[in-house]
Amino acid sequence: MPLLLASSAGCRTLQTAELAGESPGPVTIFMTVEFIDTNILIYAEDRGMGAKHQMAVDLVSRLARQHIGAISTQVLAEYYSAATRKLRMSSEEAEQTIRDLASWTMHRPSHNDILNAIGLQRRYRLSWWDAMVINSAIASGAAILWSEDLTNLQQFGTLVIQNPFI
């Protein structure tokens, strides 16, 4: 399978022959990101959720450590709302968590993303907000979307939904 690379000439695909022979020069290999839904962040904060809390903490920690975590502005907004309302976190605590996620791949939906989400919603009969999250995961180049709220192992092109609690 070819690897996607960035060089001074921009992104390109490195063919298998290049891997075995001549060097293409200095390149950076892009790692596939893993996108997390809001519920994973909430479980990571909610110590009262027992095993789900620890599994969410472990997942978020692994993604941060490996620098492969991805989220969207929608996920951050939903997190802030749920953390301050349901978990009764202070505004400052929730803001700090959002600041801590600044190094993650961030998807900021555009006009075209909204149109793509409309297509996902119609085709798969999804809720509007689930369609937006799925579109953001796809647009981020994620291979996995971690969520408890979606159907485990359902695929949307190359994106696979995974429930970390199953």
Q: List pLDDT tens digits, range 29-61.
A: 556 999 999 999 999 999 999 999 999 999 999
Q: In this structure, are 148 and 72 located in the same domain?
A: yes
Instruction: Give the range of the structural domain holding residue 146, as residue numbers without chain letter.
Output: 34-162
pLDDT tens digit string along 92-131? Answer: 999 999 999 999 999 999 999 999 999 999 999 999 999 9
pLDDT tens digit string along 71-82? Answer: 999 999 999 999
Q: In this structure, are 14 and 57 located in the same domain?
A: no
The pLDDT assigned to 15 comes to: 38
Residue 129: strand, helix, or coil: helix
What pTM did the predictor assign?
Answer: 0.81
Q: Could you tell me the CATH number of the domain that includes residue 122?
A: 3.40.50.1010
Q: Where are the beta strands (DSSP E) in the chain?
A: 3-7, 10-14, 28-29, 34-36, 69-72, 105-107, 144-146, 155-156, 159-162
34: exposed, middle or buried (Cβ count in 10 Å: 0-12, 13-18, 19+):
buried
